[in-house]
Amino acid sequence: MKKIIAILAVASAAVGMSLSAAAQGTAAKGFGIVGGFTSSSSNAKNFDKSSVSQYLFGITYKLPLVSGFAIQPGLIYHVKGANLEDADKNHVSAYDFVSSFQTKTGYLEVPVQIQWGPDLLAFRPYAFAEPFVGYQVTKNEDVKGVTVSEDELNSYLNDHKRKLEYGLGLGLGLEFSRLQISAKYFWNFGSLYTAPDQSTGSAVNATGSTIRNAFKDGKNFNGIDVSLAIFF
């Protein structure tokens, strides 16, 4: 009888340890690498807007907290962009008209994800809020259908693009084993360009100010991204 009780006790302990290990294994933690795709546009005014598909990659670190909460900062290279076409002729002169304009900006971002989600042993679904700040490291402007030099106008716009960005993302994710899949919608706050010149000056400045005006008053990038992280 004592042997049976001992065997049952050992078996129970083994099952308990297995379940505990399984539960801990479903929630990713520690360092990981992340990559994914992003589709962004802009709420710029007086243009027809469409999205630009780009990418992101970087490193991340997840720290589990209590009651299903976790915090996950990262260091991410994130490329965002927007397509603008056919300026509204009711708001710009024929001289300043732009037939198409594409902008792409690569930011080195520091996002901080604040997660909540229950560990369901086999997987962990979660929701998150993600404030972020970033610094511009790459930029590309491509303007067509203007009456001034496109190269000069592109250079002018690059010179007046803001270096710093900040914003917020809201999304959902799913973890299983060492993998984490997430999707979010993000908003960049603040204007994409510095304020337009008070005096337009040259023709390039006048046309460039038309585009910069479109991004005034918080008109910036917004969109979705889908990413996959692998933890080690």
Range of the domain at 168: 28-231
Q: In 3D, which of 81, 79, 83 has the Cα closest to residue 49?
A: 83
Is 55 within the bounds of a domain?
Answer: yes
pTM of structure: 0.80
Q: What is the DSSP letter of 161?
A: B
User: Amino acid letter at 172?
Assistant: L
Query: Which tens digits make up the pLDDT trace of 89-112?
Result: 555 554 566 778 899 999 999 999
Query: Distance (Å, rounded) from C-alpha 47 to C-alpha 176?
Result: 43
At residue 120, the 3 state secondary structure works out as: coil
Is 15 within the bounds of a domain?
Answer: no
Q: Structurally, how many domains does the chain consist of?
A: 1
Query: Which tens digits make up the pLDDT trace of 28-84?
Result: 789 999 999 999 999 888 788 889 999 999 999 999 999 999 999 999 999 999 998
At residue 148, the 3 state secondary structure works out as: coil
CATH code for the domain in which residue 202 is found? 2.40.160
Q: In 3D, which of 156, 139, 143 has the Cα closest to residue 201?
A: 156
